[in-house]
Structure 1
């Protein structure tokens, strides 16, 4: 065992022959937090304990060294809880090896101090205990808070085996578990029982922490809260919390979110100046049943300043890029157009690749500019009354070319008559284009992307379904964030920067709507968003649902019905018709789908709960069957019409049936 050395030797010995100054260890970035945690454990300067000595004896044996220590690095010293082979209980932190070891997450190993410039003239190397080999495993209590090390020391150089280092790691982890077991329980009890200890912990926090009573009055605040808002402690206590917030609402707590969600608000300092503040307020559970809340406040002025600098830079770069990119893109398309088929195939291929890449860069520049406008609140909106079915048709036309290039069919499943919303048409087309382009990207070739519009109470829901591989549920929390890709390989394989959904969500929220999705792995994804319906007058004689597989046939009948004051919706498939019937009352239903689908739809209508049962069903007589003639249920009436009847004939039949219904009800 090495003999004990005087404190002066351990702290100040230097080697006059050393040519390179000794390197003192840096402080960890979380030094204040680390020191607070170390002191809170109350382990410094405590008597030796056998449970720690067992660990160091094992480390001695496994590492085959004469010295093994459990060392805690304090503000100005390293103190040894257990010290096998060394009589000293502490050394200066400035000459400690453990001070270096706590800077990293893994073992800090010096095979030969005489070959390491950092330690050549270290007094623990040039004098007793003459360290030549050192290996220290950090004692990490979690979150990168490393209080000290379990270290092995020898006076000859060493190259430990991987097995020895692995065992040293395990022993260090065991030391941490043992160290935290009982002391952690004691610490929690002490923090609850002692206001002084709680105050010490709270005052080390960088965030402001304020306790609030049931009336919105502040009961206590830590030093950070006083610093953030510019008050002395005695000035805060008893004052209403809303005094720290600019325009929180009329009452003492109104306008503040008491739901543990972190929100950004405008704070107000003692001098009246305003600043951006991140605030969360959570209810505490007290044994006496008294209501109390804890507010955590963070001054985010610097973060906002850096975000503004970043956004201005990105905006400037995007503006500067967009102009030359547009010129390059125009030149490439001009060259492709003018040359016609005269270009060699290889040159045409290169020009087409360059043109497509320009398209992608222009879209990226536009997305980044929109992102900056959204963040700054400067994205302009021009709200007007929009026919939602026409909006869907327009978006399909805008994206058909891209879909055709990828071998994907875009299919609209239904049309709503008289369905209007208040919105910005260009921005909503941008949203639909983002979702449709994503659906096309991730659909297999020869696949189908389906678009439908459904009335749901006082809103309209637009749904876009693809047949892609689906989105993992684990990615749900990330999908609407910027630059998000469920599979990072998609960025190169499919293109795109992951900004479209983030921008789309912001646009829909500005329309007071919500964007979400449903997905099944291997079965595809459905994105949908809801928009409030614009006020509309009721149709004069009700509304009809036309179940027709040919859109062209619907247009003529819709126009004829409009002349008699009747609005009409169209479903091009039976399942969509049923979905509409669940949400919308109709006075008449015309079914002219393929025979099997028409029959299945009729049977489902009879069995399903509908918005209104006082309806008439008109069916083409080419699907009439004997057992269907006798169906009569809850006012449901089936009328058979000649197959392929003209629009005027169908209109007249509907009008006649509705008039008969009215007369029957009066009678």
Structure 2
């Protein structure tokens, strides 16, 4: 089957939005899912089991047993067919199926033959697939298939629990910020009380008003204790405290992006360079949707940049009194975008085109980016010249901790 015939679910836009709502860091789930991976392989009697999530460009393996795999292009994957319906998808022999027999996993050293996949379905939307694979031909009994369905349901439950925990951590972080604001707000009145009590104390000394002095001393002591407590809360240096799971700084964001997307660029012989402003590298900000936005922009740049091209990502934090701005520019030396299509993209529309290596587009990557940036209250600017590359400039507001 040629690349132009690759399968796209009818609800693809809704599917990608639903997947993005989980805001998943694709490097973070393996430890939470490895027991289910082992169980799936045990039930099926196969060498390999994988848990795959499929976004606009990439199949991400977020849980693996028997095979060290992190990602592959969506068009190479078998699971892209599994997410087309709510039924199981089986390939008895990958080497005999023209849709897959030219892909790397069929050749040595993997030499995979058997595939069986079940969609990971949440509220009627397939976000990915649980699959089991083997180097020998197999068949699964109905009883085994039913057990695998139970495991697939539990995988979705685990992902939802993980997302809920992340959301709870975010709310706790917000509460912590609120506490600091309260502490800041009470410092002024407390300082005023202390100043007033000191003045009355001085007057009391001259008037020899012992009872007033004792009363004022109590006010002064209590107010000083409260002021010290407020100072203790405020003195917790936000730049030096440990980064929580739902947070990033420029250093950790750079590391994650290289871990996730350098393999894609290297595979296509493209130089990917990510630079950060060293002066602001420790400023902490929310991880919410950041990897989703940048991941789609970098994957899109890889798709439309030819071999031996370059992609440059520049990241900075613009600090403000009440709000910071995460400032990111993604520049590529790709084929460029026509002005009319830029306007379509900025309006959340636009159709997909083929990449520089004839990669088939699925049509929703940049639409998703625009949607997420709008939801985050950010800004997206695109400049491009046909044949000379494109530049995507993103600014996302971040509340100061």
> Shorter-normalised TM-score: what interval?
0.3 to 0.5
Structure number with higher relative contact order (C-alpha < 8 Å, ≥ 6 residues apart): 2
Between structure 1 and structure 2, the one with the greater Rg is: 1
TM-score after normalising by structure 1: 0.25
TM-score after normalising by structure 2: 0.40
